[in-house]
Amino acid sequence: MRAQLLAQAKRLVVKIGSSLVASRDGGLRVAQIASIVSDLAQIHATNRQVVIVSSGAIVAGIQPLGLKAYPQSIPLKQAAAAVGQSRLIRAYEKSFEKTGDTVAQILLTHQDLADRKRFLNARHTLTSLLKYDVIPIINENDSVSVDEIRFGDNDSLAGQVAHLVDADLLVILSDVDGLFTADPRQQPSATLIPLVEKFTKAIEHTAGVSRSQESRGGMVTKIHAAKHVARFGVSTLLLNGEIQGLLPTVLQGKSGGTFFLPHISPLNSRKQWIAFTLRSKGQLQLDQGAVEALQQRGKSLLPSGILDVKGQFNAGDPVTCIDKKDREFAKGLVNYSAQILRDIKGRNTRDIQKQFGKREYEEVIHRDNMVLL
Ligand code: GLU
């Protein structure tokens, strides 16, 4: 299965971690960038499309700005990213020139993908670039991103890009060999997990104890990204990017890294966008009956099952549904504002009609706009 999915993957999103392309005291790792570029060019030449998501802007900006350490304040991070990003892209461009490939830089903020129209625009741009055989190199637009509009880490950005371009495979290159049963630095007996078929609690726990240097996310965000893309039918490969030639051989079926199998019944693009791209604006706490109706019987959410409404949101906003123990289990686009829901929660349709007249929608969240998490 692993070999087959890797062999069939035609459109790849390759995430490259900061530590692979830059170091805090030495600036850009030009030779290492050239090594990765040579592997990617080889893959590109064998009839596969490549979209790069590269970190490293902030780290690459540390040395030229004369900073002593990784910047902590937002303005300094933004300044370092502005200086580092242009150097980073120049290094990629120079290396890809040698292999005869054309690259394009795209910097995204979360808002570019949270708005469905802008999401589709970005998708068109990327699809056109791929049609013209260009290798897009994407990063978060760190210099203008403040917390509310951040992706936060590039593992999550790469996962969203995989959805954006409808990729077959997400490759995450970092300075570790893959997911281990424990932290290999502390437990030499730890072994590499070559295949993950299901995202169990044990796997997520294993990620918590594994390490990755420099990158903002570490192993936890990598597993989250893999879990998310699996929901829409994309497999993930975690691989050590320091080893030249490894990725092309692994794609041809050799062992290496950790491979995550995709979900068997993937979500469609719109549901995927609701589940993965949109950020929840509030929560609806549901009684047991409503939880079961949503989880087991594929029903829409009605006002009668709502116990509590948390947060402020408007009609059309994304909200999460939680059970009595505060566990999030569904997310969807709500038909009514928080204010209206506070009035109609817990009541049946006839009651609501009597007091408020006929409402436009019977459902609070229609099944078509809802995803189970
Ligand atoms: N966008 C950040 C950068 O280029 C990296 C974020 C991350 O490490 O995940 O420096």
pLDDT digits (tens, 9 = 90+) for 221-259: 999 999 999 988 899 999 999 999 999 999 999 999 999
The CA 316 to ligand 1 mean position distance, Å, reads 31
The CA 360 to ligand 1 mean position distance, Å, reads 45
Percent of the chain surpassing pLDDT 70: 96
Segment 24-63, tens digit of pLDDT: 888 999 999 999 999 999 999 998 999 999 999 999 999 9
Query: What integer pLDDT is reported at residue 209 of this predicted model?
Result: 60
Q: Is pLDDT of 308 > 90? A: yes
Please tell me whether the overall predicted TM-score, pTM, comes out greater than 0.85 for this model: no
Query: What integer pLDDT is reported at residue 76 of this predicted model?
Result: 92
As a whole number of angstroms, the distance between CA 40 and CA 24 comes to 25
Query: What integer pLDDT is reported at residue 229 of this predicted model?
Result: 92
Report which ligand 1 atom has the smallest distance to the Cα of 140. 1
Is CATH 2.40.10.220 correct for 280-372?
no
Q: What sign for the dihedral angle of Cα 31, 100, 241, 108?
A: positive
Side chain identity, residue 326? D
Choose which CATH entry (3.40.50.2000, 2.40.50.140, 3.40.50.1220, 3.40.1160.10) describes domain 2-271.
3.40.1160.10
As a whole number of angstroms, the distance between CA 71 and CA 109 comes to 20
Alpha helices in the chain (DSSP H): 2-8, 18-21, 30-45, 57-62, 74-99, 110-114, 116-131, 154-164, 201-209, 218-231, 246-251, 269-272, 288-297, 338-344, 349-356
Segment 254-292, tens digit of pLDDT: 999 999 999 876 677 788 888 888 999 999 999 999 999
Q: How is the beta sheet containing 103-108 ordered, strand by strand?
A: 103-108, 135-140, 49-54, 11-16, 169-174, 235-240, 258-260, 195-196
Query: What integer pLDDT is reported at residue 276 of this predicted model?
Result: 82
Ligand 1, pocket-test mutation among 137, 142, 147, 175, most atoms within 8 A of CB: 142
As a whole number of angstroms, the distance between CA 7 and CA 259 comes to 13
Weakest mean pLDDT among 3-12, 87-96, 149-158, 212-221: 212-221
- Domain ranges in the chain are 2-271, 280-372
Report which ligand 1 atom has the smallest distance to the Cα of 156. 9
Percent of the chain surpassing pLDDT 90: 67
Residue 56 · residue 142 · CB < 8 Å: no
Ligand 1, pocket-test mutation among 86, 110, 153, 221, most atoms within 8 A of CB: 153
141 or 151, greater pLDDT: 141
Which two tokens mark 130?
A: 């791929």
Residue 43 · residue 251 · CB < 8 Å: yes
Q: Is the CB of 56 under 6 A from ligand 1?
A: yes
Q: Is pLDDT of 149 > 70? A: no
Weakest mean pLDDT among 114-123, 184-193, 229-238: 184-193
Rg, C-alpha atoms of the chain? 22
As a whole number of angstroms, the distance between CA 373 and CA 360 comes to 27
Mean pLDDT (whole number) for 125-137: 96
Which two tokens mark 82?
A: 């502005």
Cβ neighbors of 109 (< 8 A, separation 6 or more) are 140, 141, 144, 145, 149, 150, 151
As a whole number of angstroms, the distance between CA 308 and CA 311 comes to 10
Residue 51 · residue 161 · CB < 8 Å: yes
Backbone angles phi, psi at 165, to 5 degrees: -95, 5
The CA 357 to ligand 1 mean position distance, Å, reads 52
Ligand 1, pocket-test mutation among 216, 219, 221, 224, most atoms within 8 A of CB: 216
